[in-house]
Structure 1
Amino acid sequence: MDWEKELKKMKVCDFDELPGPKSKEELEEMKMPFEEYCKKAFDVGNEFVKPDALKGIRWLSTTMYIFTPHSVTNLAELGAECIKIEMPRMGDPMRHTSPFNEAYLYPLHDTRPMSGTGLGFTNANSNEYYITLDYHVPEAKRLYYNLVKMSDGLTECYRHGTFDRWKQGYRDLMEINPRFIYVWGGGFGYGPKIFGGSYDILGQAHAGLASVTGAHEDFGGHATKASNWCIDWYSGSQITTAILAALYYRNKTGLGTMIEFSQVQAATRC
């Protein structure tokens, strides 16, 4: 290839054709007072505006704490309409964690407060709608089924088999909505500990991640949890990726699917 001829063919961009101010005077005219910038950036009328990437997708979240809620709030950040279904009276236990929801702020309670919302909950469940349903009440169960009919998928984290016993698991919901995408997030996946509950520190320990953190035993150290809830956040992000793949698969085939994921799976990939 004759590079000199190719370079001559290339158009050199003229400075005047570039976007933006061309002089100091034009730059001064484009400057905006900070107060006006804030009003524009945080327009009160646009607080519910979302990106268009997942516009039109409705997702149900029957999740708790951080692991599975994070996977749903990622969808909400991308524009999906997400409805979180919480337990009656108490709600998601993550609501009752610090900061700003410490027990000493509620002296009438001996244990965790049953009201208020800590920042941990809002961080893991942002940009969603919140409702409560008692699945043992027939009217609530009918409402749950109606939501499934008009939704694209659901993420849940109850003990394995719980939703099947309540007639609201994958097999039951696929009869209602064949295009439905069902996600179950557990601690250990299908195996000897499938019925066991889990949270971040257990996921780190069982996957071996905690064994490579902290001081060596020769120096008096021991296995140590990573400083933050890394397995919760990382697992949630991986579930979001799987959901996006399932949505793409459904667009091609018209079929829903079930996704199973565990914290231990995520920890082995950290």
Structure 2
Amino acid sequence: MAKDLRETRIEDLPGPKSKEELEEMKMPYEEYCRAAFDPGNEHTKPEPLKGIRWLSTTMYIFTPHSVSNLAELGAEVIKVEMPRMGDPMRHTSPFNEAYLYPLHDTRPMTGTGFGFLGANPSEFHISMDYHLDEIKDAFYRLVKMSDGLTECYRPGTFDKWKQSYLYLQELNPRFIYVWGGGFGYGPKVFGGSYDILGQAHAGLASITGMHDFMGGHCAKHSNWCIDWYSGTQITFGILAAIHWRETTGLGTMIEFS
């Protein structure tokens, strides 16, 4: 007869357990969470990507989230923002999407909203107008001392600025270049995109709409779920590229949409 699992003691569970671990397992859950997520312990967590330096010229949520994941794993992520305004996501807040769809001329130009902080944690920030000729040398020096870069500009923009993979791989053959866009290299290659368009094109908005008695029309999901999920997928690609580089010694370019 099988043993009743309700009679199983913590000490009987498989796996090595120190005295400290046993004490943790007996703690009330709320106390355990307070201890586990104590901000004072943030530098004690494992950092498997320590030693990796990554450049980020990203905006909004989709691509910033992909590199913030690297920072959470110990990489040194340097977010490079344009002077004065910086990442437009800085100037948004919850329920303030009018400043995102489209980028509105009346958006606030100062301050930092919670949306930006949520998409860019654990990073270093510098301001650099990297498309200007007089600044390019400084940008190129960063490339030579970094492992990769993620950008989200429309296709051809970094080619025009001579900062695309075609140019950067010559400066650093081990460099990993990531481009994240809305529609990929297809019929809408030059079209801009936001999370709300991704939800619409993917069909998600059609199943999160109103009930029939409320009109039955489609509705955007309350969260930027397409951006968050897609950013995580880019992170998987970056980790694979880092591993592949360890085998071949060469960088690569990742396209994601």
- After TM superposition, the score normalised by the length of structure 1 is 0.76
What corresponds to 2:176 in structure 1?
A: 181
State the secondary structure of the residue aligned to 1:184: strand
Instruction: Please give the alpha-carbon distance, in whole angstroms, between the structure 1 residues aligned to 2:189 and 2:69.
Output: 26
Instruction: Please give the alpha-carbon distance, in whole angstroms, between the structure 2 residues aligned to 1:240 and 1:254.
Output: 20
What corresponds to 1:60 in structure 2?
A: 55
2:185 maps to 1:190: yes
Task: State the shift of 1:114 in Å.
Answer: 1.2
Instruction: Please give the alpha-carbon distance, in whole angstroms, between the structure 1 residues aligned to 2:201 and 2:97.
Output: 30
Task: State the shift of 1:154 in Å.
Answer: 0.4
The CA RMSD measured in Å over matched residues stands at 3.1
Task: State the shift of 1:87 in Å.
Answer: 1.2
* Unaligned 5+ runs, structure 1: 1-11, 28-33, 104-109, 263-270
Task: State the shift of 1:133 in Å.
Answer: 1.2
Cα distance per residue 1:177-223 (max 9 Å; x no partner): 11110000000111010101000000111122222222466973122
What corresponds to 2:196 in structure 1?
A: 201
Alignment of 1:1-270 (within 5 A): 19-20=18-19, 41-43=38-40, 51-99=46-94, 111-215=106-210, 220-262=215-257
Task: State the shift of 1:99 in Å.
Answer: 4.7
Letter matched to residue 194 of structure 2: Y
State the secondary structure of the residue aligned to 1:68: helix
Aligned 8 A contact 1:81 1:128 in 2:
yes
Question: Quick one: percent identity of the two aligned structures?
Answer: 72
Letter matched to residue 238 of structure 2: I
Change in Cα spacing, 1:49 to 1:163, as seen in structure 2 (3 Å) is farther
**Bigger shift: 204-213 or 143-152?**
204-213
Change in Cα spacing, 1:18 to 1:48, as seen in structure 2 (3 Å) is closer
Instruction: Please give the alpha-carbon distance, in whole angstroms, between the structure 2 residues aligned to 1:214 and 1:113.
Output: 31
Quick check: which has more Rg, 1 or 2? 1
Task: State the shift of 1:72 in Å.
Answer: 0.4
Task: State the shift of 1:93 in Å.
Answer: 0.3
Letter matched to residue 20 of structure 1: K
Instruction: Please give the alpha-carbon distance, in whole angstroms, between the structure 1 residues aligned to 2:54 and 2:135.
Output: 18
Cα distance per residue 1:87-125 (max 9 Å; x no partner): 11100000001159999xxxxxx9222111011101100
**Bigger shift: 93-102 or 200-209?**
93-102
State the secondary structure of the residue aligned to 2:183: coil
**Equivalent residue pairs, number:** 228
State the secondary structure of the residue aligned to 2:19: coil
- After TM superposition, the score normalised by the length of structure 2 is 0.79
Aligned 8 A contact 1:102 1:112 in 2:
no
Aligned 8 A contact 1:50 1:77 in 2:
no
Cα distance per residue 1:67-99 (max 9 Å; x no partner): 000000000000000000111110000000115
Task: State the shift of 1:18 in Å.
Answer: 6.4
Instruction: Please give the alpha-carbon distance, in whole angstroms, between the structure 1 residues aligned to 2:164 and 2:205.
Output: 33
Change in Cα spacing, 1:115 to 1:225, as seen in structure 2 (3 Å) is same
Change in Cα spacing, 1:42 to 1:136, as seen in structure 2 (3 Å) is closer
Instruction: Please give the alpha-carbon distance, in whole angstroms, between the structure 2 residues aligned to 1:164 and 1:58.
Output: 23
Aligned 8 A contact 1:59 1:81 in 2:
yes
Task: State the shift of 1:255 in Å.
Answer: 1.0
Letter matched to residue 185 of structure 1: G
State the secondary structure of the residue aligned to 1:83: strand
Aligned 8 A contact 1:133 1:140 in 2:
yes
